[in-house]
Amino acid sequence: MTTIGLAGAGTIGRGLIELIGRSPAASQLKIKTLLVRDATRSRFGVPAGVKLTTKLEELTDDPEISIVVELMGGVDAPLRVVTRALEQGKSVVSANKNLLAQHGPALFALAANHKVNLGVEASVCGGIPIIRLIGEALRADRITSLEGIVNGTTNYLLTRMSEEKTSYSQALAEAQRLGFAEPDPDYDVSGKDAVCKAGILASLAFGGYVDFRRIPTSGIENLQLEDLRQAERMGYTVKLVATARRTSHNNKLDAQVAPVLLPLTHPLASIRHENNAVLIESEGLGMTLACGKGAGPAPTSVSLLADLLDIAEGRQKLPDVNHPFLGTPFEMEAHGQSSSRYYLRFAVPDRPGTLALVAGRFADQGLSLASVLQPEGADPVPAPVAGGHPQVTLILTTHLCRRAQLDKVLGALAGEGWGNPVVLRIQED
Ligand code: NAP
Ligand code: HSE
């Protein structure tokens, strides 16, 4: 029998308790102690005999407990629990991408020093065994790029908004009810959750720590149904995509998390609802696509239990000094140097000369517009200041340009008071 201490009995903790209770594979696992914020609250589904506590040492320092599972959310309190557990010689399983993306090097170093396991499969893409795929099946190959939908909540929102015209707030409420969203859903919609996962996957794939704080990130908060409809008319779908690739000329890392217009033929375009998918390009294998449920208590618990069983049965390799998180940190490629087409939506004053001025700013930078649309009958945009001109929506697409060039145009237009447009990269293949 392997005895477990569980930190957290929220959305995911309850899912894991339920799976351990009904899975024949888990018959050798026993949850002894449960760390929560409030140990006086009655907890449905917690097996009789499990001790509730608010003291982390009752997990980390109990000689009977050999594995601590961290499912608390946030960073500071989980860092204390995981650090202490590893220092006390316990293996740890965690679904916490924020913790891992930020403190992965220190935690894997600690696990290596104490010769204990740190299982993190559930931290990226919920139930998809993406960490095993990269770390085990593909370790014989050289990975050159990753491109993925790694956040289930935003993909659920975008799917519901584009297929059923559900409003953003209604779709987000549903994602929270279904247990896809983070305790603070701003982490999902702002791209913060996806960029932590991008940092983790890139570190594992490229063999050196990738600091997620250096990856340019934007979320889906400012997207409107209008952008999704316009993308459809153009033959695209909008997805929040994380990309990371080694640059061939200087072996730096070019990475980004942003909403992107994908052509309908792209392998990620058909990934719907809370599903995730990662397209891995490697020298020997070419393209490999891993997809499946990326959020929610049931799929996440499958990954957690797989790590628990591998550790309990001695099948998980212990981390050592060669662990990818302990490799030399990657240098990042300067942002904005690669070329792409862009979709832009502005709110501009409805007065003579506006279009000429906008076109002129693009021409000043030598950028060529591919299309211009001021939709007839679109909902009016109120004037930003009392007595000002009412505003209209202006949608532009560019030909190929560097983001750095486009940023100069956007800076000039911001000088006219027309800042904060929606800017989406258009992917061509
Ligand atoms: P949650 O519902 O907010 O539950 C958090 C649990 O941790 C609660 O039981 C809470 O105790 C306990 N807790 C929090 N802070 C604590 C502290 N300082 N001391 C003691 N106990 C504390 O969180 P969740 O949605 O289950 O998420 C858990 C983790 O799973 C997060 O790291 C999240 O990113 C990750 N994750 C989520 C998904 C998903 O699909 N939602 C997928 C993969 C990974 P009380 O019950 O007393 O409040
Ligand atoms: N909130 C996360 C998501 C959970 O929606 O993808 C899975 O990590």
Closest atom of ligand 2 relative to the 194 alpha carbon: 6
Q: How many whole angstroms separate alpha carbon 192 and alpha carbon 209?
A: 18
Q: In one letter, which amino acid is 310?
A: D
Q: Among all ligands shown, which has an atom nearest to the Cα of 273? A: 2
Q: Where does residue 406 rank: exposed (0-12), middle (13-18), buried (19+ CB within 10 A)? A: buried
User: How many H helices and E strands in the chain?
Assistant: 13, 16
pLDDT category of residue 383 using cuts at 50, 70 and 90:
low
Pull the structure tokens for residue 62: 């109990």
CB of residue 77 inside a 6 A radius of ligand 1: yes
DSSP string, 133-185: IIIIITTTS-EEEEEEE--HHHHHHHHHHHHH---HHHHHHHHHHTT-S-SST
CB of residue 10 inside a 6 A radius of ligand 1: yes
Helix (H, G, I), strand (E, B) or coil at 117: coil
Q: In one letter, which amino acid is 125?
A: C
| Mean pLDDT of the 233-253 span | 92
| Catalytic residue (one of 197, 239, 317, 408) | 197
- Domains delineated in the chain: 2-119 (3.40.50.720), 135-293 (3.30.360.10), 339-426 (3.30.70.260)
Q: Which residue shows structure tokens 């190959």?
A: 141
| Mean pLDDT of the 247-253 span | 83
pLDDT reported for residue 381: 65
pLDDT category of residue 74 using cuts at 50, 70 and 90:
very high
At 122-143, the pLDDT tens digits run: 999 999 999 999 999 999 999 9
CA distances from 387 to 166, 383, 414 (A): 34, 7, 20
- Strand partners for 29: 2
**337 against 308, higher pLDDT:** 308
Q: How many whole angstroms separate alpha carbon 144 and alpha carbon 282?
A: 5
pLDDT of residue 59 exceeding 70: yes
Cα 426 to ligand 1 centroid, rounded to whole Å: 36
Q: How many whole angstroms separate alpha carbon 111 and alpha carbon 319?
A: 7
The answer for residues whose C-beta is within 8 angstroms of residue 178's C-beta and 6 or more apart is 156, 274, 296
Q: Which residue shows structure tokens 């917690």?
A: 46
CB of residue 91 inside a 6 A radius of ligand 2: no
pLDDT of residue 283 exceeding 70: yes
Q: Which residues of 155-168 are buried (b: 16+ CB within 10 A; e: fewer)?
A: bbbbbbbbeeebeb
Cα 187 to ligand 2 centroid, rounded to whole Å: 9
Closest atom of ligand 1 relative to the 295 alpha carbon: 40
pLDDT category of residue 250 using cuts at 50, 70 and 90:
confident
pLDDT reported for residue 65: 98
pLDDT of residue 379 exceeding 80: no
Cα 71 to ligand 1 centroid, rounded to whole Å: 5
Q: At what angle do helices 76-87 and 97-114 cross, to 10 degrees?
A: 10
Closest atom of ligand 1 relative to the 303 alpha carbon: 43
Residue 214 contacts residue 234 (beta carbons within 8 Å) = no
Q: How many whole angstroms separate alpha carbon 74 and alpha carbon 182?
A: 10
Q: Of 61-70, 98-107, 375-384, which range is least confident?
A: 375-384
pLDDT category of residue 227 using cuts at 50, 70 and 90:
very high
| Mean pLDDT of the 85-112 span | 98
Structure letter (DSSP) for residue 48: T
Q: Among all ligands shown, which has an atom nearest to the Cα of 156? A: 2
Q: Among all ligands shown, which has an atom nearest to the Cα of 187? A: 2
Closest atom of ligand 1 relative to the 193 alpha carbon: 34
pLDDT category of residue 80 using cuts at 50, 70 and 90:
very high
Our answer to whether residue 293 is catalytic in this structure is no
- Strand partners for 236: 263
CB of residue 294 inside a 6 A radius of ligand 2: yes
Shortest CA distance to 12 belongs to which of 41, 45, 40? 45
pLDDT category of residue 390 using cuts at 50, 70 and 90:
confident
pLDDT reported for residue 350: 87
pLDDT of residue 338 exceeding 90: no
pLDDT of residue 384 exceeding 70: no
Q: How many whole angstroms separate alpha carbon 301 and alpha carbon 290?
A: 18
CB of residue 310 inside a 6 A radius of ligand 2: no
* pTM over 0.85, yes/no: yes
Segment (H or E) for 238: strand 236-246
pLDDT reported for residue 378: 64
CB of residue 153 inside a 6 A radius of ligand 2: yes
| Mean pLDDT of the 199-206 span | 97
Residue 295 contacts residue 163 (beta carbons within 8 Å) = no
Pull the structure tokens for residue 102: 């930020």
pLDDT of residue 88 exceeding 90: yes
pLDDT reported for residue 193: 98
pLDDT of residue 385 exceeding 70: no
At 25-54, the pLDDT tens digits run: 999 999 999 999 999 998 989 999 999 999
